[in-house]
Amino acid sequence: MTAQSFAARVRSQVSWRATRELSWVLAGQAAALAGSIGLTKVLASRLGAEHYGRYALGLTAAVFLNQFVFGPLTTATLRYFSAYRENDLLGPFLSALRWLVGALLAVVAVTVVPAALLVARYQGKEWAALMLLAAAFGVVQNIFALVNGLDIAARHRARAAVHQAADPAARLLLAGVFLALLRPSAVVAMGAVTVAMFVVMASQATASRAFGGGPAPARAHGPDLASDTRAARWALVKYARYFTIAGLFAWLQLSSDRWALKLYLDDAAVGIYTAAYQLASVPAVVLAGCVSQFFSPIVFQRARDGNSAASLADARHVIRVGVLALSVLTVASAGVAGVAGERLIVLFTSAAYRQSGAYVTPLILGLGLLQIGHMLGLLAMSSNRLKGHLVVKIVHGVCAVVLNAASVRAFGLAGLCWVSIASGALYVALVLANNARIMRTLSPDALGAVSQAPVLQS
């Protein structure tokens, strides 16, 4: 293949719109990455390992709200946004979404306050305050993620990128101010990031008007408004319910590592682990999230309603490209961490966390495998075949909790980091098995009919 023919082939696969969108995604993620690194540096160095560990434990409450409460609704929203917009039903769709968010906020309010009172009685007021602030942070963070996701689904990449960059920048600024003016503690740090997150969320919601009662499409004002809204609400709930159950087990998997360290070791061990985890998250979660953020809307757009085998074949083609990109990113990042992990930890936290450097490489590999599994899982999500995906989440969540607890008890902090690779590999294997089952239910003739639409075409 000549250079001219190769260049022509590349041009045929990349549209100007997709190139522009990818540029915004990369710019937003790069700015968010810089802010996240700065935030980790400030929190880790100012709090010390013990209070940084408590801060990380508090964040597991926010993770719970993401995985079990708001995250499933966000997933359903991103899945159906394009379909409702194409059918001129965006008004009822957003009305249904606002109603569901309000209902979830009410549930959180009547649940968290009594729980905080129990924590105050048995664990002390400081832990109760940490829990309340973490819950508040989780609420505003998830509303931000929902509205930002709507912008991404609508392919308003510039607005989404600006607010993604503003999020860690605001948290970094206020965390520095709060910790300088008040005593360095997990509670103060959590309060700072909560206030910052609220400011960014309010800006995003105001700009997008998703929750501001903006003008709805013409059809939304017709006699079918109420029935269309009820139908949209039921569609969102029906899709999200699988992720609600799966989210509980995902939360157990994501939080059991820190609580296992708390149970068998101490808060300082949680802080040491969190420092390594945060650095590993830069390539394995932040940069990988950039890849997923770019490919996910295209997968759902190609899959349409998920009932056409030919459309799913197009979606699978995009998923394969995404998996390849994530695999290259994971391997390259792990190689860099293997050479310079300790120096990077000292640079981005402080010398007190030097021992965390040895744990960065296995965590990158483990987290990278999880991201690859998530990308592969888009097949189940785009085809609306969620029961098998739910089983995958449950099985992996239970196995991960057992592996985390057993590894910490037997081998300490090092064992937990290395077992993350086994956990990630198990997740990929389970998703691949479920994907194979899905493909067996589709027509072989239709599956071979992949369209010639470029992967990066709008």
Choose between 443 and 286: higher pLDDT: 286
Which whole-number Å values give the CA distances from 392 to 163, 387, 397, 434, in the listed order?
33, 9, 8, 8
Does residue 107 fall inside a structural domain?
yes
DSSP, collapsed to helix, strand or coil, labels residue 307 as coil
Tokens of 292: 């997923």
Tokens of 233: 């609400």
Tokens of 248: 């509980």
- Determine phi and psi for 436, rounding to 5 degrees: -60, -40
- Picking from 413, 112, 142, the residue whose alpha carbon sits closest to that of residue 258 is 413
Does residue 234 fall inside a structural domain?
yes
Does residue 448 fall inside a structural domain?
no
Q: Are residues 188 and 315 in the same domain?
A: no
pLDDT in tens, 97-148: 999 999 999 999 999 989 999 999 888 899 999 999 999 999 999 999 898 8
Cα 9 to the chain's mean position, in Å? Answer: 33
Does residue 9 fall inside a structural domain?
no
Q: Are residues 85 and 229 in the same domain?
A: yes
Does residue 185 fall inside a structural domain?
yes
Q: Are residues 273 and 229 in the same domain?
A: no
Q: Is 88 left (phi over 0), alpha (psi -120 to 50) or beta?
A: left
DSSP one-letter code for 182:
S
Question: Which amino acid makes up residue 53?
Answer: G
Query: Domain total for the chain?
Result: 2
Global confidence as pTM: 0.75
Residue 281 in contact with residue 430, Cβ under 8 Å?
no
Query: What whole-number distance in Å separates Cα of residue 429 and Cα of residue 433?
Result: 6
DSSP, collapsed to helix, strand or coil, labels residue 232 as helix
* Confidence at 215, pLDDT banded by 50, 70, 90: very low
Looking at 357-386, list the stretches that DSSP marks H as alpha helix, in order from N- to C-terminal side.
360-376, 378-382
Question: Which amino acid makes up residue 54?
Answer: R
Q: Are residues 61 and 115 in the same domain?
A: yes
Average pLDDT taken over every residue of the chain? 83
Does residue 78 fall inside a structural domain?
yes
Mean pLDDT of 259-288: 87
| Domain span including residue 170 | 14-217+224-242
Q: Are residues 82 and 137 in the same domain?
A: yes
Q: Are residues 304 and 417 in the same domain?
A: yes
Q: Are residues 232 and 297 in the same domain?
A: no
| Triad 172, 176, 182: Cα angle to 5° | 140
Tell me what percent of the residues of the chain surpass a pLDDT of 70.
84
